[in-house]
Amino acid sequence: MVHEPSAQYLQEKVAEAKVHFERALDCKHTEFDDLYPYMIEHPQFFWYKRYVAWSELLTVVKLCNELDVSWRHQFSVTQAEYIDKRVMSAKVLDYWFEKNDSKEHVGH
């Protein structure tokens, strides 16, 4: 018997994916570093890392949309618009935090 994931579970997955993406934006350690340690030596590493994190975020949001689970409350209006557009553009990379000194930056 298969159980549908709860709304709370999916919202937690969105929160985790958001943190993963924000850590990748801030060039902080993520699970990707552990999976592909050899990539650190390559200049394209951070692009791959950000792409993987962005893809994860979009996938979890897509599941939320398909199951009618709210997720927008975890993001600013601008961030939700970026997610809706689905394209990880330079604008997303440069303005995700809206201000470079934002308190929203991920700690650790």
Q: Mean pLDDT of residues grouped by 10 in the chain (108 residues)?
A: 80 97 90 79 82 96 96 97 95 86 47
Q: What pLDDT, on a 0 to 100 scale, did the predictor assign at position 103?
A: 47
Contact 29, 46 (CB under 8 A): no
- Residue of 77, 72, 71, 58 lying closest to 10 (CA atoms): 71
Distance from the Cα of residue 83 to its chain's centroid: 9
- pTM of the complete model beyond 0.85: no
